[in-house]
Structure 1
Amino acid sequence: MSSGELLQIHPQELQFPFELRKQISCSLQLSNKSDNYIAFKVKTTNPKKYCVRPNNGVVLPRSTCDITVTMQGQKEAPPDMQCKDKFLLQSVVASPGATAKDITPEMFNKESGYEVDECKLRVVYVAPPQPPSPVREGSDEESSPRASVSENGHSSAVQFQASKAFNERVEPKDTSFQARTLISKVTEERNSVIEQNKRLQQELDLLRRAAKQSRGGIPLMYVIIVG
């Protein structure tokens, strides 16, 4: 907190969590520890870039005043995230019972005879806050079969182990049965092919013998009839 002669300012610098194309706001708090009415006015080196509400007013004795500074959305980030913008907060003792309507530009002009207190504030860009990482609803231990208990009072881990052992006993049998069925089917198909080959071979032999007889001379039946 900066302690001036008239007002205490917190924080001493304007910190904006910079994000492109997004309006960003930060706050200042002015504290009046005296018994006087203190008038204030806020100026900036870049008035088109910032909106200050309120940009002037009166802080009552022993009270505070909050100021909101809004930075317009920026199309590009500055080099090295360094900002050269500055703010100037001027304060002066006002007459008792003064309000914001009683503030005039001459009150902050030192040449007019007023004792003006000035405090310079710099602008700082900071990294935007990161969203919290998602938290799992249950831990690994809670989701583990060993940690859960079934309604009948037996650990589900026992059921899990029993089921696993049953599957280990059954699966090899199922696999062996499928293998035997496949082997039997292949064997039957092979035997069928062998039988077909035998029949074809026999028919081929008959055709060969018939062909030899037709080339060997006059058929025996013809000789008997003629004789």
Structure 2
Amino acid sequence: MSSQLEIQPRELKFVVELNKQSKCTVRLVNKTDQHLAFKVKTTSPKKYCVRPNVGVIQPKSVHEFVVIMQAIKTASVELACKDKFLVQSTIVPDGTLEEDITSEMFSKDGVKFVEDIKMRVNLVFKAPHSPESTTNEILKQADANVESQVINDDSKPVKDADVTPTQDVKSEKTKLMKIEPIDAVVSSVQKDVETEVTKDVEPMTRINEESKVIESRMSTDDEEQRLFRDVEEMKSKLHELESKLSKAEMTISNLTEDRRQVIQERESLKQEMDFLRTRKVERRVQDGFPLLFVCMVALFSLIAGYGFHP
């Protein structure tokens, strides 16, 4: 059977920064004329959060879900990530809602078709913007400004009145080379470094606070999702128990009805047996009465014969 679902992209790519979450958006394209239900699974559920992880895609339409990777606190992470995702899809009837999707819909029982699509994870690490690199850039820029200033002083057109001795020019150059970097440039560089460091430190602290808040929210969301899954599983189990109880009640009612019918048949048979027994006795009485009557008549005729004999 051809693929009923198209995934874009087929590989999850996360740009990783320390102490910062990263996310990736995935598009699901329903290529069929029927409604498709999907479910997203991962080998590392504590590391990723999928929103939403289940849903229904309309025919010939597109549905999106977002995968959020938790913030990484240390740089000791392998570049070749072994985490994997699995997207399952199956055909559902029209009118199916997201709340109606259960794990039993994606069980492969041999009757319905369940498509499995695997996705890999690719991590791209981004170099952090450290205050040291900012300081080095500022020092390099300051050195370049000093050199350009000295070169500009050398290249200025000088009047004849100003060019008296060459030693004065050399002394002025050495003053510029010695005094400018030490006094003005160093102080400006220190001020720039301090401002840059404070600018970089404040966003980092703010980012850390925001990441902690987001982590707490994500943990609560994960707990809510787990609770929702547990409640759904309990509902499905209760539904199964109710169906089994209804079947048991039906079988008990059928057995009681059969027993009642057997008792009735037994009573009717007993009544028929009694009736047959009474009919048999009556028949015996009817069969024996004419013989007795004949005997009595014969006896009376003999007595009468002897009485009338001379």
Give the alignment's TM-score, normalised by structure 2. 0.42
Residue 102 of structure 1 is matched in structure 2 by 100
Query: Which residues in structure 2 correspond to 1:75-86 (within 5 Å)?
Result: 75-77=73-75, 80-86=78-84
Decide which of 88, 91, 100 is 2:89's aligned counterpart: 91
Q: Which AA in structure 1 matches 2:18?
A: L
CA distances 1:5-59 after superposition (whole Å, capped 9, x unpaired):
2210011111111222210001110001211100000000100000000100001
- Root-mean-square deviation (CA), in Å? 2.6
Query: Which residues in structure 2 correspond to 1:20-169 (within 5 Å)?
Result: 20-77=18-75, 80-111=78-109, 113-128=111-126, 165=157, 167-169=158-160
Q: Which AA in structure 2 matches 1:72?
A: Q
Shift of 1:97: 2.4
Residue 206 of structure 1 is matched in structure 2 by none
Gaps of 5+ in 1: 132-163, 179-227
Deviating runs (4+, > 3 A) in structure 1?
Answer: 77-80, 127-131
Q: Which AA in structure 2 matches 1:171?
A: D
Q: In the aligned structure 1, how far is the partner of 2:51 from the partner of 2:92?
A: 20
Bigger relative CO (Cα 8 Å, ≥ 6 apart): 1
Change (3 A) 1:89 1:9: same
Q: In the aligned structure 1, how far is the partner of 2:36 from the partner of 2:79?
A: 35
Q: In the aligned structure 1, how far is the partner of 2:127 from the partner of 2:18?
A: 14
Shift of 1:113: 3.6
Change (3 A) 1:112 1:99: farther
- How many residues align structurally? 141
Answer yes or no: is the 8 Å Cα contact 1:43–1:87 preserved in 2: yes
Give the alignment's TM-score, normalised by structure 1. 0.56
Answer yes or no: is the 8 Å Cα contact 1:17–1:129 preserved in 2: no
CA distances 1:81-136 after superposition (whole Å, capped 9, x unpaired):
111111000000010122212211110111374311000101111243999xxxxx
Q: In the aligned structure 2, how far is the partner of 1:6 from the partner of 1:129?
A: 40
Name the one with the larger helix percent.
2
